[in-house]
Amino acid sequence: MSPEIPEEGTKHAKRSYHHGSLHPALIDAGLALARTGGPSAVVLRAVSREAGVSHNAAYRHFANHEDLLAAVGERAMAELGRLMLHRMAGITAPDEARLAQARLAAIGRAYVDFALAEPGWFRTAFSGATAHPHPPAAGAHPPLPEPPPDPLPEPPPDPGTDPFLILGAALDHLVTAGTLPATRRPGAEYAAWSAVHGLSALLVDGPLRTLPEAEARRAVESVLAVVARGL
């Protein structure tokens, strides 16, 4: 209304009408809000406010609220993938077979640990409409062809951090190490992923939410053991 002087940069130093990089700034702000409050905290207006911009500015970068939430969820998913990779990298074993097994268990543990340590991000990662275009994939995975460098503004945010692909690689390793019969490889990710994701969901949001820490730990190991035996 009144021609008040707008305080000259309320958070970000140089900002005169044009933010410069609102798109990533909005995602970052959303990620911060999602971390503590889950997907429902990723409120368009709060995100815009956090980015030092009026609501509605976001509509220049995202089609709608759902679109923004999906972008934030994708980042949260990548965060999960990053933890899986990190844990996997720290594993050593006397032979290839045991290495492959230990790695599978490690990424499984990482999955649940992430859900428990960052429930806000976990919920957000799976709340969005992040419709993975995972094709049937009932066969073997070639090592990430990724033929056309599609001209999207955002390069697919680290294709290496996709939890599903990380799991697939771990299962492939199990095959080459001779631990998993090749005939059982197709579809194996469904069982492994489902078990670990289900436990995470039940512990974070579901009826197992009240399980005491120690019992939860035991449940994780129990689930991992069943999967290892059953694959």
**Binding characters for a copy of itself, 96-125, by CB under 8 A (x = yes):** ------------------------------
Contacted entry of DNA, a copy of itself, none for residue 164, CB cut-off 5 to 8 Å set by kind:
a copy of itself
The answer to whether 201 touches 187, Cβ cutoff 8 Å, is no
Residues 6+ apart with CB under 8 A from 80: 110, 111, 114, 121, 122, 125, 163
Binder of DNA out of 9, 11, 56, 146 (CB under 7 A): 56
Q: Which stretch binds DNA (CB under 7 A): 41-49, 93-101, 125-133, 210-218?
A: 41-49
Q: Which class for 219: exposed (0-12), middle (13-18), buried (19 or more C-beta within 10 A)? A: middle
- One DSSP character per residue, 142-177 reads -S----S----SS--S-GGG-HHHHHHHHHHHHHHT
Token pair recorded at residue 167: 């799991």
Contacted entry of a copy of itself, DNA, none for residue 16, CB cut-off 5 to 8 Å set by kind:
DNA
Token pair recorded at residue 30: 């959303």
Q: Which stretch binds a copy of itself (CB under 8 A): 13-21, 26-34, 42-50, 193-201?
A: 193-201
Minimum Å distance from CB 219 to a copy of itself?
4
- Asked if residue 196 binds a copy of itself (CB under 8 A), the reply is yes
Token pair recorded at residue 210: 């009240």
Please list the residues that pair with 16 across neighbouring strands. Answer: 18
**Binding characters for DNA, 60-99, by CB under 7 A (x = yes):** xx--xxx---------------------------------
Q: Which stretch binds DNA (CB under 7 A): 37-45, 96-104, 118-126, 135-143?
A: 37-45
Q: Helices (H) and strands (E) in the chain — how many of each?
A: 8, 0
The answer to whether 55 touches 137, Cβ cutoff 8 Å, is no
Residues of this chain that interact with a copy of itself (CB under 8 A) are 126-127, 130-134, 136, 138, 164, 187-188, 190-191, 193-202, 205-212, 215, 218-219, 222-223, 225-231
Residues of this chain that interact with DNA (CB under 7 A) are 1, 16-20, 22, 43-46, 48, 53-57, 59-61, 64-66
